[in-house]
Amino acid sequence: MELRDLRYFCMTAELEHVTKAADKLGVAQPYLTKVIGQIEEEVGAKLFDKAGRQIRLNKYGEAFYMQARKVLACMDNLYNEMDFMLDRQGRNITLLSNTEAYTPDLIVNFNKSNPNYTVSIFYSSYTDMIDALKTGEADFALTYPPINQGAESGIITELAFYDVGWILLPPGHPLIEKRVIRFEDLRGEKLVTCPKDSAIRWKVEPLYEKSGMEMNIVCESNDLDVVTRAVGCGMGYAFMPSLYMNDRPELYDHAVEVLAPQEDRQGYFGLSYGENVQDNRNAMDFRDFAIRYFSQMQETVFYTHTKDIPAAYGLGDADDSDISAR
């Protein structure tokens, strides 16, 4: 069995269709079928079950797939290490995220000091990010809430930073004069927000459930600039992260805080990666930079505020002072 055969198997498993996998791999369908058959013969078990016109991994196939992805990830790490030692170009990092607010500045600053690296960013659902880290399809995921799958999952999560949410209101809205509002003051107001499964939605949806309010959504976008323009045009209010607001201080003239418990106003973001990434020096360069970057950002951009950190992430306690504005 060759590494190429493992790649062929994994592609077939992911597409659940031999013909589609053959087309994507650029090989003939009979040849791919033969490769799969040889793998099954070598391991001594059928790895796929038929499901109509598709095929699906059975329990043996799922176990084989997870190990095959680890083998391929190890080989990729080996080649990356050689690239690093020989100072070759083309060091590639794949970052997934469910937030658009923080990744652009991170990548811009990383690239300034690491011009030989290429960082690919993809916005993804929370579940898909977990799967991609487990299979090695992605190196890192920046998420809210932090991924907490346990040690047996093979995913390592470090608390990167926390952010504070603001309510951005249309110009001239009467609530602007209050500066601090109750969440219930937004009842019946139109909402501009990010799509479901984004970091913002993960944070705010429980607030609506707790208050018994409905989300009166009139516009959705993954681009916070689009959300900001929609609010500026009077379409509705929006939840905005502090980092985004601090880069656009003029927005504070139309922003208010919500009078609510700290856990409702504040969100913790995690940087997650698979265990295999620890053996990839290129990837760990990015990890080290990201942790330093977010630590400095927390100290200089935010408000030198600390609070209780969830014990689930194995991090220490801090004081319980309130967040000060701006």
CATH number of the domain that residue 154 is part of? 3.40.190.10
Please work out, in degrees rounded to the nearest 5, the angle formed at the alpha carbon of residue 270 by the alpha carbons of 264 and 276.
160
Give the count of domains, the chain: 3
What pLDDT was estimated at residue 239? 93
Q: Which domain holds residue 32?
A: 3-72
- The whole-number average pLDDT for the span 180-193 is 93
What pLDDT was estimated at residue 44? 92
Q: Is residue 124 a contact partner of residue 97, using CB atoms and an 8 Å limit?
A: yes
Q: What tokens were used for 294? A: 């977010």
What pLDDT was estimated at residue 262? 67
What pLDDT was estimated at residue 47? 94
240 and 183 inside one domain: yes
- The whole-number average pLDDT for the span 171-195 is 92
41 and 105 inside one domain: no
φ and ψ of 237, to 5 deg: -95, 170
318 found inside a domain: no
198 and 257 inside one domain: yes
279 and 261 inside one domain: no
How confident is the model over 195-238, as pLDDT tens digits?
888 888 888 898 899 889 999 999 999 888 999 999 999 999 99
172 and 259 inside one domain: yes
- The whole-number average pLDDT for the span 10-16 is 90
117 and 63 inside one domain: no
| Least confident range of 2-11, 188-197, 208-217, 317-326 | 317-326
For the question of whether the overall pTM of this predicted structure is more than 0.85, the answer is no
Which residues is 118 bridged to in the sheet?
Answer: 92
103 and 114 inside one domain: yes
237 found inside a domain: yes
Which pLDDT band, with edges at 50, 70 and 90, does 74 fall under?
Answer: confident
Residue 87 vs residue 223, higher pLDDT: 223
In this structure, is the dihedral angle defined by the CA atoms of residues 226, 229, 235 and 238, taken in order, positive or negative? Answer: positive
282 and 151 inside one domain: yes
What pLDDT was estimated at residue 37? 92
236 and 215 inside one domain: yes
197 and 226 inside one domain: yes
Residue 101 vs residue 29, higher pLDDT: 29
226 found inside a domain: yes
Boundary (domain end) residue, out of 22, 42, 72: 72
What pLDDT was estimated at residue 265? 66
- The whole-number average pLDDT for the span 87-92 is 61
What pLDDT was estimated at residue 231? 96
pLDDT at 174 over 90: yes
Full 3-state SS string of the chain: CCHHHHHHHHHHHHHCCHHHHHHHHCCCHHHHHHHHHHHHHHHCCCCEEEECCEEEECHHHHHHHHHHHHHHHHHHHHHHHHHHHCCCCCEEEEEEECCCCCHHHHHHHHHHHCCCEEEEEEECCHHHHHHHHHHCCCCEEEECCCCCCCHHHCEEEEEEEEEEEEEECCCCCHHHHHCEECHHHHCCCCEEECCCCCHHHHHHHHHHHHHCCCCCEEEECCCHHHHHHHHHCCCCEEEEEHHHHHCCHHHHHHEEEECCCHHHHEEEEEEEEEHHHHHCHHHHHHHHHHHHHHHHHHHHCCCCCCCCCCHHHCCCCCCCCCCCCC
What pLDDT was estimated at residue 301? 52
175 and 261 inside one domain: yes
How confident is the model over 99-135, as pLDDT tens digits?
877 888 889 999 888 888 889 999 888 888 988 888 8
d(CA 278, CA 290): 14
d(CA 310, CA 296): 21
What pLDDT was estimated at residue 248? 85
Q: In whole numbers, what is the pLDDT of the chain averaged over residues?
A: 82
Q: Is residue 307 a contact partner of residue 321, using CB atoms and an 8 Å limit?
A: yes
pLDDT at 324 over 60: no
319 found inside a domain: no
155 and 16 inside one domain: no
How confident is the model over 260-299, as pLDDT tens digits?
776 666 778 899 998 878 877 788 889 999 998 888 877 6
Q: Is residue 96 a contact partner of residue 140, using CB atoms and an 8 Å limit?
A: yes
What pLDDT was estimated at residue 313? 33
